[in-house]
């Protein structure tokens, strides 16, 4: 038998053995769910049942995109999002989920209802004010929801929250820092829980938040309360 034929047989045997080995050795055997924050709208078993990864799935074939789509469309009000999917070789998959943090309490025009929205306006539902009594939300004044979130004021609220996150704030801590946001023609007046205020230029929210926050943090703690920053 020619050497080339022997080599081809050996090569094919090695490849076949590798396929069998990796197919068996890296088959998913354990799937777990880990919470990234306090999740109240879904228990771990409910999330697991939605993920539904076949027991014979190869760990390399696990699709993070598909898992995110399954989880994020399965729960009402878009309350759950997948932060990441972690593969622990050889055969464990951990799905890290978090509950979208509702930040803003915004009135609904011509009603006595309110929207409680997360920073990206992906989780939102209309509530009676009494339903929101126990929720820590930023009270938005001077702007009401009409029929869409695709409006300038909502984009500016999103920019505001993202600027704080970019400065190192955890999303879940924003509502312990900010009490109210009041809209006027050209600015947003942000009142903090310590009584300090930020005057935010609506034409450049991100930069304005950064400037106010830097000035706020530059002051000694005892001098911040009641101080106005612009």
The DSSP call for residue 203 is T
Q: Report the 10 Å Cβ neighbour count for 116.
A: 19
pLDDT (tens digit per residue) in 68-105: 988 888 887 789 999 999 988 888 899 999 999 999 99
When the pLDDT of each residue in the chain is averaged and rounded to a whole number, the result is 87
Cα–Cα distances in angstroms (integers) from residue 182 to residues 159, 178, 192, 197, in the given order: 15, 12, 12, 11
pLDDT (tens digit per residue) in 19-50: 334 444 578 888 889 999 988 888 899 888 88
Radius of gyration of the chain (CA): 25
Q: Does the pLDDT of residue 18 top 50, yes or no?
A: no
Cα–Cα distances in angstroms (integers) from residue 111 to residues 28, 92, 104, 144, 203, in the given order: 51, 50, 17, 10, 29
Using DSSP, state whether 35 is helix, strand or coil: strand
For CATH 3.40.50, the residue range(s) in the chain are 102-221
Q: Does the pLDDT of residue 11 top 80, yes or no?
A: no
**Residue from 146, 150, 143 nearest 126 by CA:** 146
CATH 3.10.450 fits 27-99, yes or no: no
To the nearest whole percent, how much of the chain has pLDDT over 90?
A: 60
Residue range 210-214: average pLDDT?
Answer: 98
For CATH 3.10.20, the residue range(s) in the chain are 27-99
Q: Which fold has domain 102-221?
A: Rossmann fold (3.40.50)
């Amino acid at each position: 038998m020619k050497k080339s034929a022997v080599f081809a047989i050996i090569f094919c045997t090695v490849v076949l053995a590798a396929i069998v080995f990796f197919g068996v050795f890296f088959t998913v055997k354990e799937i777990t769910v880990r919470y990234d924050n306090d999740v109240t709208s879904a228990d771990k078993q409910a999330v697991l049942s939605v993920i539904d990864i076949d027991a014979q799935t190869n760990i390399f074939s696990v699709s993070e995109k598909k898992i995110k789509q399954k989880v994020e469309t399965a729960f009402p009000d878009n309350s759950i999002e997948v932060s990441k999917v972690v593969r622990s070789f050889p055969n464990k998959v951990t799905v890290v989920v978090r509950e979208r943090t509702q930040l803003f309490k915004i009135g609904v025009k011509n009603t006595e209802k309110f929207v409680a929205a997360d920073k990206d306006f992906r989780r939102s539902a209309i509530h009676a004010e009494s339903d929101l009594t126990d929720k820590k939300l930023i009270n938005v004044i001077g702007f009401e929801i009409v029929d869409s979130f695709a409006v300038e004021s909502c984009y500016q609220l999103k920019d505001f929250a993202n600027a704080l996150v970019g400065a190192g704030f955890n999303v879940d801590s924003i509502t312990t820092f900010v009490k109210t946001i009041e809209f006027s023609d050209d600015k947003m007046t942000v009142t903090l829980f310590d009584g300090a205020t930020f005057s935010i230029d609506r034409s450049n929210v991100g930069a304005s938040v950064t400037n106010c926050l830097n000035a706020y943090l530059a002051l000694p703690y005892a001098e911040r309360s009641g101080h106005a920053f612009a």
